[in-house]
Structure 1
Amino acid sequence: MLRTALRHVLAQKTRLIQTVLAVCLGVAFISGSLVFADSTTAAHRAAMSQDYADISVTVRPKSAPVADADERYGALDDALVRTLAAVPGVGSVRPVADGSVTLAAKDGTPMRADSMRGKLGVAYAPGADGRDSRYPLVSGRAPRNGGEVALYRGTAAAGGYSPGDTVTLATDGPAFRKRLVGTVSTTDSRVTAGGTLAVFDKATAQRLFAAPGRYSSVDLTAAPGTGESELAARVAAVLPADRAEATTADAQATQQSVLISTVTRSYERLPLLFAVVSLFIGTFLIVNTFTLLVARRSREIALLRAIGATRRQVVRSVLAEAALVGLAASVLGFVLGLGVATALPHMLDTSGDLLPAGPLVIGPAPVLASLAVGVGVTVLAAWLPSRRAARGSLPSRRCARPSSRRPRRSPGSAAGSVWSRSCSARACSSR
């Protein structure tokens, strides 16, 4: 029966190819969306780990955001920076003054106007060597006063700016203009994923994003041999408990992971919607295809019953054909799904946010889902036609056993007995 099923699958290639394509399309969207979500999550986490590579503990203000800027950031001053630098186990201290700033392109069009994220403004913080390791200069020089600004090289290119141009910016108040004096590079995923970056001198950044002489946060790097939790406990001991708090990089990464998972899982909804619609339509196509195939093979199925095939064998034969078709559609759909996963970052509208680049992550879930959906949908859709085929091939009850009546002779024929026409028309093979 298995060889018979395989022979019929190969003999009906033209008709079954419609079923394969219908199932293949649904499987492709399902596997593609799952691979895409896993790959995007892995790429986000890799980018995030790079963002926190030089951070062990971050100190932030504890007061409510609605508080006055002087009150909110009052504890994060140069005196606290010196205190933190003296804590045992602290390798380096980086005071940070950053926030959100909107830039206008050279033609006056706001950049990333529809996005709430990735519009970053920071302070240039040179180290002992006079360079900022987070934002190294690419061309020109760093800003030195309130009338100058440096831009991320990608931001400058997108806005059409060149060194010496006047850049228009805005935070919460009126727009202001500054002269572009240099360009920088960065590995910050918020910027490399399509965001903008403006770099100011320290005093200007403090005035724009915190308060004069105050910082929005302080990043600490642990010395070799000191763990993050241990350092966080030591730092918390010297902080004003009601005004500032210390958070480990692992805790921040966990918070970001939850956000990333929420965002990336929402990307699956559109592909999965196409998959559901495709499989819904494909189910009707599968039922119709196998109904026609069974109808064309009614005599052959009756012959199989006559030579000893049982009802279950007939049903299994049809379902075996469906399973073979579903398996082929699943494999083809999964391969096509990898192409869908590659194309999805360019198809989805993410308000100008570019998804981080990374390799495709193929886990067991997309593979198992492809096989379960492809084979399962095909077999379930072919189950009803297979049952009809088995019922239609059964002999009538009048022929289940030989008639107990006395055989009658056929008029005008030689001596002998014949069964009635109703019983001689089909074979009794109900056993």
Structure 2
Amino acid sequence: MNASVRLSLSSLRAHKRRFAGTFLAVFLGVAFLAGTLVMGDTLRAGFDTMFGNATSGTDAVVRSADAITTPGESEGVREPVDTDLVSTIEQVPGVAAAAPNIQGAGQLVGRNGDPIGGQGPPTLAGNWIADPELNAYQLAEGRTPQKSGEVVIDRGTAERGDLNIGDTTTLRTPDPIKVTVVGLATFGGEDGMAQVTFTGMTQADAEKYLTAGPGEAASIQVRAGPGVSQQELVDELTPVLPNGVEAITGQESAQENTDMISSQFLTVFTTFLLVFSGVALLVATFSIHNTFAIVVAQRTRENALLRALGASRRQVTASTLVEATAVAVTASVA
């Protein structure tokens, strides 16, 4: 074994406590960075699975072909589609069911009078789709809204707002309206879609409070019949759609939603954590530098003795570098 390596390993065994602080600094810095990256990828994979489960029954989505974008936005706002298209779509071969999907902003007020959410993730409201396969939300408790003023909310929102079935609260659309919770829902098998809030209303209420006028929807969800693939369904729908309206597969729609959540929430979240991990690495770097500076100063006599015994400057420097490498590799692997 090389003399520098043997000397370095002997020094590490003889001065375990001296290198404990350096080991810990490297360990924490690398762990923070690796943990942040792994968590970000895990969250993205979780959203992929969640959206896949939630929208598995939607084989095609009919929507406006054009999106109005503003500077700095990757996703634009699309024009609404006419809900009368539902009857036309239902006559297309291969279509098993179709339902309008009305979406808008709606922020619930919790039991304590404070609004729920709204600090980043969107607060959504829309019509409750009766077909359970076309509805991304699944009814878990209670019943669906039957008349004006009744709503279904996701479980996560109910927990954060301390709301239960039978409670009456306010929904800001932005105009405040009184609503009664009649059901609780889940999204993709989870209590909700991260911190996003959702309120499901009757179609009449959704058209009244969330759209510019009756007969408009953000999109139309379509379910294929047995043996019809998503692409085949889109190919059948395209010829009957008016100009300015397009059909995309359910998989494409789910991926777009995942990408939107990723860009608006996950990217910001992981960047925020990466900044902290960068600070941790910077602090660790100073700590490591200071530790090794002290180590080298403490070994002045030892190095002088090695030089007197015939060790070259290169061997002494190599010995120190081997120690640094051993600590760095061991702590990083750990």
Fold match by TM threshold 0.5: yes
Instruction: Please list the CA deviations of residues 310-351 of structure 1 after superposition, one character each: whole Å capped at 9, or x if unmatched.
Output: 55444333322222122222233xxxxxxxxxxxxxxxxxxx
Instruction: Name whichever of 85-94 and 318-327 sits farther off.
Output: 85-94
Tell me by how many angstroms 1:268 deviates. 3.6
Tell me by how many angstroms 1:106 deviates. 2.4
Identify unmatched segments of 5+ residues in structure 2.
70-77
2:327 to 317, 325, 341: 325
Tell me by how many angstroms 1:51 deviates. 2.6
1:158 to 157, 160, 163: 160
Aligned to 2:57, what secondary structure does the other structure show?
coil
Q: Distance in 1 between matches of 2:261 and 2:149?
A: 37
Q: Normalization by structure 1: what TM-score?
A: 0.65
Q: Is residue 2:232 matched to residue 1:227?
A: no
Instruction: Tell me which amino acid in the other structure corresponds to 2:207.
Output: Q
Query: Which residue does the alignment assign to 2:194?
Result: 193
Query: Which residue does the alignment assign to 1:416?
Result: none
1:282 to 281, 287, 290: 287
Instruction: Tell me which amino acid in the other structure corresponds to 1:109.
Output: D
> Counterparts in 2 of 1:4-403, with a 5 A limit?
4-62=7-65, 72-73=79-80, 75-78=81-84, 80-117=85-122, 119-127=123-131, 134-139=137-142, 141-172=143-174, 174-180=175-181, 182-188=182-188, 191-210=192-211, 211-242=213-244, 244-262=245-263, 263-264=266-267, 265-305=270-310, 311-332=313-334
RMSD: 3.1
Instruction: Tell me which amino acid in the other structure corresponds to 1:121.
Output: A
- Structure showing greater radius of gyration is 1
Instruction: Tell me which amino acid in the other structure corresponds to 2:107.
Output: T
Tell me by how many angstroms 1:104 deviates. 1.0
Tell me by how many angstroms 1:276 deviates. 3.4
Instruction: Name whichever of 29-38 and 255-264 sits farther off.
Output: 255-264
Residues 171, 41 of structure 1: alpha-carbon distance in 2 compared, 3 angstrom cutoff: same
Q: Distance in 1 between matches of 2:273 and 2:12?
A: 34
Overall identity of the aligned pairs, in %: 29
Query: Which residue does the alignment assign to 2:75?
Result: none
Instruction: Name whichever of 55-64 and 34-43 sits farther off.
Output: 55-64
Residues 175, 65 of structure 1: alpha-carbon distance in 2 compared, 3 angstrom cutoff: farther
Residues 254, 215 of structure 1: alpha-carbon distance in 2 compared, 3 angstrom cutoff: closer
Tell me by how many angstroms 1:304 deviates. 4.6
Q: Distance in 2 between matches of 1:218 and 1:227?
A: 18
Tell me by how many angstroms 1:10 deviates. 0.6
Q: Would you tell me which structure has more strand in proportion to its own residues?
A: 2
Instruction: Tell me which amino acid in the other structure corresponds to 1:323.
Output: T
Tell me by how many angstroms 1:64 deviates. 6.1
Is the contact made by 2:132 and 2:138 (CA closer than 8 Å) also made in structure 1? no
Q: Distance in 1 between matches of 2:209 and 2:183?
A: 20
Residues 121, 319 of structure 1: alpha-carbon distance in 2 compared, 3 angstrom cutoff: same
Q: Distance in 2 between matches of 1:315 and 1:132?
A: 67
